[in-house]
Amino acid sequence: MSKGVLVDITKCIGCGSCTVACKMWNKLEYDNKVPSIGEDATLNDKNWTVVVQSSLNNAKGESVWRFAKQQCMHCVDPACASACFSRALQKNADGAVVYYPDLCVGCRYCMIACPFDVPKYEWSKAAPQITKCQMCSSRIAKGEAPACVAVCPTGVMKFADRQELINEAHLMLKRDDRYMKTVYGEHEVGGTCWLYVSDVPFDQLGFKSKLGSVPLPSYTHSFLKNVPVIALGWGVLLTGMSFYARRRNEIAKAKQAKRNGTDGNQQGEDDDFDEED
Amino acid sequence: MVQTAINKGRMMTSMKRIELFGWKFTITPARKILTFIAAFSIAAMVIRLITGFSLLTNLNDDWPWGLWIAFDVLTGVALAGGGYSTALVVHILHRDKYHPVARGALLTSLLGYILVMAGLFLDIGQWFNFWRPFVSWGHASVLFEVFWCISIYTTIQVLEFGEIVTEKIGIKLHRFFKKILPVLMIIGVVFPTLHQSSLGALFLIAVHKVYPLWWTEYLPVFFLMSSFFIGPAMVCVESALAGKFFGHKVSLNVLSGLARISGRMMVLYLGLKIFDLFERGVVGLAFLGNLEGNMFLLEIIVGVAIPIGIVFSRFGKTRNGLLVYGVLTSGGVILNRMNTVFTSMVSYSSGAYFPSIWEFIVSIGLISIGCLLYSFIVENFNIFDHHPSQRSDKHDNQLSV
Ligand code: SF4
Ligand code: SF4
């Protein structure tokens, strides 16, 4: 069963405990130049999760702060994994999308493919690797919640079966009309394992709002599934054309030879057929 | 600049010639400069492979793919498309009059692919892991197909070239290579057809990132068609240059015939492009006057529409006309690849990338290496004087340039 995490934006106070827990569990350095909490918080090779602060107006027109935790969304049908040509990114049955550094070639196609711009690169290293949240897959395997979920002091996140979480989220939206009427991640690019509910519009929090519900790998799949047929058909067609053209040239040569009497050889490979127009 | 280079080329005959163990190489001022650039850039490449990206490139998380992918790989593969389109015309459709350009096109194409592989190798972070996709099959990835096709096709081209090499060395093998040639030729057309289109398909998954003027489900078809029609255009440019530097004149009839084959494909391409724009309802985007719109118009008008006009006019039957046609068409395809990677993503990633001087040096260095190899091979193997049809050309009296 695919697991997931439900994030309730209304409960987050921006303390950043989750970002610290992530660094400790995954042994990541602190980046002095790029903060992991605040308005300028940015994901990078050292920040696998960040808490981005936004100042905005709520429905009543009051100015408020909101904090959005960002990390890999662990898509149900991940573009990054389908883009990786050496299977260095793989989707686990439990939902986590995991990176295997030994298999990675470093082509960065996964970065192009991810609609949430999650995979980051160790640009400063001599043999750089892709980096991203692994949903603490080794903890999940033991039945534990990801480190960030376990450490949150205000209970912003809940770790459970994805489908259960979706049901629960819809109940929350029904019971409390402060919430926006969507569960972010339920349908985005075919669904993600991280789900969000919020009392302010998602695009104001920096979430991408126009992703649609088509899983991105379906675009490439509809291309790739035709490839074997095209290859085979094209090969057969070319062989046919090659024989046909050669035969036609030979017949033409023979005719030419007849026309010129006996020594047709000299006119040999003339170009009776190369004028297309 | 070009003119002085050409003049230098003319002086070639009076230049020093090295001969070593039966191999010839003429030293000209232009080649000295190329050698210098090549050596300099090789040093930069070594530094890149040892130190990673941050020292020499401006790549960053917002721009994971930069000049090397856009130019060395995407554009390189398209330019090298001349190999398979001429192979199709000469060896499969057996239009023998185009024979004189076949070997030159094959050579450019082979060198093109080798340089593409070099460019790719420089651009991957874990270059010592490059062989992984041969054993760890990420077959849902378009890149997987590109990777396999390019590897196989380069091998095929080396084998195809074997026929030429064994005229001089390993002569015993010549008959063998001649025999397998027809099979190689067919495989050698199938594979480029696949990966030229896959290069476009690479961007299908980036549906939210590529500007709608370029993102379409027809991307693979457009990449394929343009890789086909850039072939003859490159042959025209190459013949003009080879005429200057190596005294190899391809008859005008041959060139304009090729150009017209490619011209028809361009008409199809243009038609499909316009149809696609209307069907997706994004025609208006081309006329917003923004960067994307203008670059798109430039690409379509200067790179496609005007060359079509030239090919089917009287100008297209002169050497000057064919050269202009060749330059515009090749330029148009180069611009298309650049637009797909750069222009189309500027607004998405807030444009935080411009290639560093070192990225340019490496790219120019790869081209220089290509030119040097080309010159060496042309001097030592039978590339141009291979005329099985030996036809005299009556139309070839409008010499100009
Ligand atoms: S958010 Fe991006 S990196 Fe994470 S699983 Fe989805 S596609 Fe992959
Ligand atoms: S950079 Fe690594 S993980 Fe990403 S697509 Fe390439 S090989 Fe796969």
SS3 content of chain A, % helix, strand, coil (to 5): 35, 15, 50
Q: Which two tokens stand for residue B353?
A: 């990338």
Which residues have CB under 8 Å from A149's CB, separation 6+? A5, A18, A157, A158, A159
How large is the greatest C-alpha to C-alpha distance in chain A, in angstroms? 101
In angstroms, what CA-CA distances link B4 with A6, B27, B29, B32, B45?
A: 68, 16, 11, 14, 29
Residue whose C-alpha is closest to residue B72's, from B381, B382, B372, B369: B369
How far does chain A reach from its first CA to its final CA, in angstroms? 65
| pLDDT tens-place string over residues B315-369 | 988 888 999 999 999 999 999 999 998 999 888 877 678 899 999 999 999 999 9
Which ligand has an atom closest to residue B65 CA? 2
Residue contact B389–A85, C-beta within 8 A: no
H helices then E strands: how many in chain A? 8, 10
Q: Once rounded to an integer, what is the mean pLDDT over residues A141-170?
A: 96
Pick the residue from chain A with its C-alpha nearest to B207: A216
Q: Which two tokens stand for residue A185?
A: 């991640």
* pTM of the model as a whole: 0.88
Report the sign of the C-alpha dihedral through residues A212, A217, A222, A223, in that order.
positive
Q: What is the pLDDT of residue B394?
A: 35
B347/B331 Cα distance (integer angstroms): 24
The nearest CA of chain B is from the CA of A214 a distance in Å of 11
Q: For ligand 2, is residue A86 a contact (CB within 6 Å)?
A: yes
Q: What is the pLDDT of residue B392?
A: 38
- The minimal CB distance from A85 to the residues B128, B138, B190 is found for B138
Atom of ligand 1 nearest to the CA of A91: 5
Q: For ligand 2, is residue A104 a contact (CB within 6 Å)?
A: yes
| pLDDT tens-place string over residues B302-330 | 999 999 999 999 898 888 899 999 999 99
The 8-class DSSP code of residue A28 comes to P
Is there a contact between A36 and A175 (Cβ–Cβ < 8 Å)? no
| pLDDT tens-place string over residues A69-113 | 999 999 999 999 999 999 999 999 999 999 999 999 999 999 999
Residue contact B194–A227, C-beta within 8 A: yes
User: In a mutagenesis test of the B interface, which of A42, A43, A109, A246 is the best target, namely the one with the most B β-carbons within 10 Å?
Assistant: A109
- Does residue A253 belong to the interface with chain B, where contact is any CB pair within 8 Å? no
- Does residue B128 belong to the interface with chain A, where contact is any CB pair within 8 Å? yes
How large is the greatest C-alpha to C-alpha distance in chain B, in angstroms? 64
| pLDDT tens-place string over residues A174-187 | 999 889 999 999 99
The nearest CA of chain B is from the CA of A77 a distance in Å of 12
State chain A's mean pLDDT as an integer: 90
B251/B253 Cα distance (integer angstroms): 5
Report the sign of the C-alpha dihedral through residues B226, B227, B231, B233, in that order.
positive
Q: What percent of chain A clears pLDDT 90, i.e. is strictly above it?
A: 74
Q: What is the pLDDT of residue A271?
A: 41
A56/A64 Cα distance (integer angstroms): 5
Q: Once rounded to an integer, what is the mean pLDDT over residues B98-106?
A: 84
Q: Where are the beta strands (DSSP E) in B47-171?
A: none
